[in-house]
A and B are shown apart, each in its own frame.
Chain A
Amino acid sequence: MTEFLQTPSQTIGPFFGFALPYEGGPELVPGHNPLAIRLHGTVFDGAGAPIPDALVEIWQADERGILPEAQGSLARDRYTFTGFGRDATTLAGDYNFTTVKPGPVDGKAPYVLVTVFARGLTHHLFTRAYFDDEPDLNAADSLLASIPSDRRATLVAVTDAEGSYRFDVHLQGDGETVFLDFS
């Protein structure tokens, strides 16, 4: 039997900016959508410096907790929710998505799957952004429960304005984000 072995990852490098970001990438829904939320944050390195050449992707359920199957993430029609977004960090290391807050999937605490790529990062990192206004569902979540309390907060997006959640990512150092291995 032939073995099908994983193709190794390689860093995204510094020069993806003309290729991967696309118009509408960070706007999963238009800002005027009544359900629109802002999910944003800063990506930091181990010295606490913002990373200006990271790429952040999100994938999530819709407001009902249903994973979208519709095409159209790259060429949005402004009505169909496709669940996928992509944003390159700014010179200040910031990313900004306009999306909806996902509903609970199978009754579990809702979260957005966050994937981070960067120059200097040889293999992307996965994490989850849970929401701070879901205390009951979060308390029942098995992943959150398994994380020591001093690190648990790194997985929770914090309300910083009405309809706005902040989720910073620390690749290393103080407040290093909990990254996940699904293999």
Chain B
Amino acid sequence: MTDQPETQATISAEIAQLENTRTESGHPLRDYPPYRSSVLRHPTHKLVRVDPEEVERTSPAFGHTDVNVLESDLTIQHSGEPLGERITVFGKVLDGDGRPVRHQLVEVWQANAAGRYVHKRDQHPAPLDPNFTGVGRVITGDDGSYRLTTIKPGPYPWRNHLNAWRPAHIHFSLFGTEFTQRLITQMYFPGDPLFALDPIYQSVTDPAARARLISEYVHEESTPEFSLAYRWNIVLTGSKSTWMESEHDHD
């Protein structure tokens, strides 16, 4: 055993070894050693496949009694304007048939422009911004759409290995029409040079699936002299049995 922190070269070699490991559904490997915290936190038994019952085929209802419309703007929660690059993040939440997930809860959280979280365990010596908390919520519209105003988060260091940095990202928490669609994930920004180095992003070993985590810059949606716009659509497929039933409904 050694106390020397491991190098990026060690982690990158492990990432390369697991690249293209086949998974159903495109989800990340739970057993993904390059992400060191996963080692003791993944089950070693195969998950037990079971048909969802009514409990799993339903989902809690959220609505405007739960979420104030102002919560979708992360830049107006304090007395002043937060520092950083103001952005609009928008898109649709869809099911595996491409149907909108209507009137459902989207929660987001993120670091500030300097890469610092408002969390007591975040010790990164970057400044907190008194005008930015980094928490937002929105209820999707009739067409499954959501729209957030925020600032672009900064990348930040972490202790997976020496000189480990997370690519800039926004955490998303999503509910579908059934609990089997529940998803927590992260949205990234196009062209980030840290993608190849990051074991969390790379824990999705299917390159095509990984690419679905990256938002797209959309110039037409940018607001002149106000903010740049990024589109990110989210697909929650849930259980196949429900999907099959819904396909028959369309026949």
A153 within 8 A of B: no
| A13-B171, A19-B134 known; A180 vs B121 contact (CB < 8 Å) | no
A33 within 8 A of B: no
* Inter-chain contacts of A83 with B (CB < 8 A): 60
B52 within 8 A of A: yes
B30 within 8 A of A: yes
Chain B at the A interface: mostly helix, strand, loop or mixed?
Answer: loop
Interchain CA distance A83-B53 in the complex, whole Å: 15
* Inter-chain contacts of B62 with A (CB < 8 A): 71, 73-74
Which of A20, A118, A171 is B107 in contact with, Cβ under 8 Å? A20
Which of B50, B61, B209 is A69 in contact with, Cβ under 8 Å? B61
Which of A47, A74, A181 is B40 in contact with, Cβ under 8 Å? A47
Query: Shortest CB–CB separation between residue A110 and chain B, in angstroms?
Result: 9
A107-129 contacts to B, CB under 8 A, are 108, 111, 113, 115, 117-126
Query: Shortest CB–CB separation between residue A111 and chain B, in angstroms?
Result: 7
A63-122 contacts to B, CB under 8 A, are 67-75, 82-84, 105-106, 108, 111, 113, 115, 117-122
Tally A residues with Cβ within 8 Å of B: 70
B189 within 8 A of A: no
Quick check: which of A1-9, A132-140, A160-168 contacts chain B, the rest being far away?
A1-9
A61 within 8 A of B: yes
Which of B44, B61, B66 is A172 in contact with, Cβ under 8 Å? B44
B140 within 8 A of A: no
| A18-B118, A84-B60 known; A113 vs B32 contact (CB < 8 Å) | no
Identify the A interface with B (CB < 8 A): 2, 4-20, 45-47, 49, 51, 57, 59-61, 67-75, 82-84, 105-106, 108, 111, 113, 115, 117-126, 143, 146-147, 151, 171-173, 176-183
